[in-house]
Amino acid sequence: MQVQRSAPVHDVVVIGSGAGGGTAVKVLTDLGVKVALLEAGPMLNPAKEFKEHVWPHQVPHRGAGDNAESYFGRKDFGYFSAPNGWWDIEGEPYTVAEGQRFRWFRSRILGGRTNHYGRITLRFADYDFKPYSRDGLGTDWPISYDEIAPWYDKAEAFIGVTGSKEGIRSAPDGVFMPPAAPRVHEVLIQKACGRLNIPCVPARLAVITKPLNGRIACHYCGQCGRGCVTASNYSSSQVQIFPAMKSGRLTIFSNAMARELITNAEGKVTAVSYIDKATRTEKQIRCRAVIVAASACESARLLLNSKSPRHPNGLANSSGVVGRFLTDTTGFSMSGYVPALAGMKKHDTDGIGGGHVYMPWWLWEQQKDIGFPRGYHIEVGGGYGMPGVNAFYGSTRRHEGYGASLKKKIRDEYGCFVGLAGRGEMIPNEKTFCDIDPTVVDRWGIPVLRFHFEWADYEIKQVEHMRNTFAEIIEKMGGQVLGDKKAGGISVGGEIIHELGTVRMGNDPKTSALNKYCQAHDVKNLFVADAAPFVSNPDKNPTLTICALSWRTSEYLAEELKKGNV
């Protein structure tokens, strides 16, 4: 294959356009840096592609998908979801070690997974940065809460986050917009939690309830997951990349699948080699520095595939840690029927997409007594949702039968359910990692990842605690747990889509790939700005910390470029 090299040298090539890449693009172009952005998927056209406000009956398949995908689990987020990616991408496989399970959700479009994600926006707690010091498990981060806090402030102020000052150590307060009022079932959950001494506070969501930087406030249609045409929620595509395009300092290469980072004799990255998917040709972009933000596992894959005589284990991997320390968040869900809600006057509960309240972890001082080392938070669901395909399958499975009595049961029960979902911390373990599959390449000829994944007892015990707690909350509301209380268990690895840790940061080049600025120990002009640098995976969704770290890394890189250090 003939490789085409681009003539201009870009200051920085950013690989990946999700929360990390989008933040890097915004910060660097603001600071006058010329950026080339590589995205493995197409450009995004929200006006055309977001299905906000569309009714199911406005499409013949009612949202099941043209080929009934929703009935066979092939489009887990449904037809109406923002264009976001897949558990399986045609021609781009990954493998899983025999006898194990792992699911990898990848996005191939400008904005990546931020187009559809849950917008939950949580700061890590002070103790989350020092897990080893706290309980002897895992590894401490090379930075503290106080060091990253200014960038949490900047990220929150810029993207816009709802919330309230609560003074809870496990959930540090931030720069907040007014939260939305709790829905009726959420008030009941709050009251029940109050009786159980579980904090239940206004949700922290990347949704603006007041105008911000030319974006208009949320209109409470509840359809954040479909993509927001008014950009009232955070997505890197609409909030960071589209505005940065106006700077004149951003060049976007879409359908560009990064294959390898090319280094020179001094061990610095000089170019990014990528596949132009439209022509299936290999091209190169020359650069002074590179920020890899392709998502944790994809970033690890790129580094592992960037092998050369000087870097036989892959780039930035003299420590051998790239691909190791992979974690996902633990997940467990339970639903309940709440008779108190039956017969209530129907009203519009759409609100912000997702729960208006959540429960941060509350037992951080009692970990020893409860028998497992790390915590979880609880997300809530319920209300009068828009009827959709599969929405009543649970009811029909429970009641069975048919006819007028079934119809009445569905009507009477509508809106009387609550759902609780636990999201907890997994501790990195030796058996969970990704490496390059020695035999399989994707359709572009790039060697693929092979996953190895095992939960430990720590996580299993944590999920049992969720099970008992959720049942208590539902019963405290006078509700009945749906189905067998003992049924179901921990999520499959990868399923919560918080996979991270595969290119971790640290002060010691022997045990980490990146320094405290997410700069490779081995390669001074190589940075990583997604969730790959994370040293642990606390019980808080990673997006805000990705944004904060990327912001800090980008400012550092701009300064280093100015000084001529990279």
Partner 1 sequence: MSETTSTRRDALRSIAVSLAAAGAIGEADAQHVHHEVAEVKKAAAGVYKPKVFTPHEWKTLAMLADLIIPADEVSPSATAAGAPEFIDLLANNNERLRTIFTGGLGWLDRECEKRHQALFVNAKPTQQKALLDLIAYRKNAEADPSLLPGIAFFDWARRMTVDAFYTSPLGVKDIGYVGNKGMTTFQVPADALAYALKRSGLG
- Indicate the DSSP class of residue 56: G
Tell me, residue by residue from 15 to 54, as one string, x for binding to partner 1 by CB under 8 A and - for no binding.
--------------------------------------x-
* Angle ∠(299,284,236) on CA atoms, nearest 5: 45
Applying CB under 8 A, the span of 26-34, 268-276, 390-398, 525-533 interacting with partner 1 comes to 390-398
Q: Does 478 bind partner 1 (CB under 8 A)?
A: yes
Q: Does 62 bind partner 1 (CB under 8 A)?
A: yes
- Contacts of partner 1 in 322-341 (CB under 8 A): 338-341
Applying CB under 8 A, the span of 4-12, 76-84, 403-411, 442-450 interacting with partner 1 comes to 403-411
The residue among 210 and 510 lying less far from partner 1, judged by its C-beta, is 210
Calpha distance 532→505 (Å, rounded): 9
Q: Does 181 bind partner 1 (CB under 8 A)?
A: yes
CB of 58 to partner 1, least distance (A): 10
The residue among 132 and 393 lying less far from partner 1, judged by its C-beta, is 393
CB of 489 to partner 1, least distance (A): 22
The residue among 66 and 146 lying less far from partner 1, judged by its C-beta, is 66
CB of 73 to partner 1, least distance (A): 12
- Indicate the DSSP class of residue 239: I
Q: Which of 133, 164, 213, 390 binds partner 1 (CB under 8 A)?
A: 390
Q: Does 72 bind partner 1 (CB under 8 A)?
A: yes
To which H or E segment does residue 107 belong?
A: none
Q: Specify burial of residue 73 (Cβ count, 10 A radius: 0-12, 13-18, 19+).
A: exposed
CB of 226 to partner 1, least distance (A): 11
The residue among 223 and 432 lying less far from partner 1, judged by its C-beta, is 223
Q: Does 184 bind partner 1 (CB under 8 A)?
A: yes
- Contacts of partner 1 in 410-469 (CB under 8 A): 410-411, 414
465, amino acid identity: H
Using an 8 Å Cβ cutoff, are 65 and 75 in contact?
yes
Q: Which of 48, 165, 246, 346 binds partner 1 (CB under 8 A)?
A: 346
Calpha distance 57→520 (Å, rounded): 52
| Rama region for 220: left / alpha / beta (φ>0; ψ in -120 to 50; rest) | left
Size of the site for partner 1 (CB under 8 A): 71
- Contacts of partner 1 in 248-267 (CB under 8 A): none
Residue 20's nearest CA partner among 376, 353, 355, 503 is 503
- Contacts of partner 1 in 186-225 (CB under 8 A): 187-188, 191-192, 195, 219-222
Q: Which of 75, 183, 377, 504 binds partner 1 (CB under 8 A)?
A: 183
Calpha distance 324→503 (Å, rounded): 8
Q: Which long-range contacts (CB under 8 A, 24 or more apart) does 344-349 make?
A: 344/184, 344/415, 346/384, 346/415, 347/384, 348/384, 349/183, 349/184, 349/222, 349/383, 349/384, 349/385, 349/415
Q: Which of 392, 409, 444, 448 binds partner 1 (CB under 8 A)?
A: 392
CB of 440 to partner 1, least distance (A): 28
Q: Which of 182, 353, 373, 501 binds partner 1 (CB under 8 A)?
A: 182
Q: Does 66 bind partner 1 (CB under 8 A)?
A: yes
121, amino acid identity: T
The residue among 42 and 419 lying less far from partner 1, judged by its C-beta, is 419
144, amino acid identity: S
The residue among 382 and 447 lying less far from partner 1, judged by its C-beta, is 382
Applying CB under 8 A, the span of 81-89, 92-100, 368-376, 401-409 interacting with partner 1 comes to 401-409
Q: Which of 48, 265, 404, 439 binds partner 1 (CB under 8 A)?
A: 404
Sequence-separated (6 or more) residues with CB below 8 Å from residue 360: 122, 166, 168, 170, 171, 199, 201, 377
Calpha distance 32→11 (Å, rounded): 10
Q: Does 349 bind partner 1 (CB under 8 A)?
A: yes
Q: How many CB atoms lie within 10 A of CB 401?
A: 8
- Contacts of partner 1 in 350-389 (CB under 8 A): 350-352, 356, 384-389
Is residue 561 helix, strand or coil?
helix
Q: Which of 143, 168, 229, 391 binds partner 1 (CB under 8 A)?
A: 391
For 336-352, letters b (16+ CB in 10 Å) and e give bbbeebeeeeeeebbbb
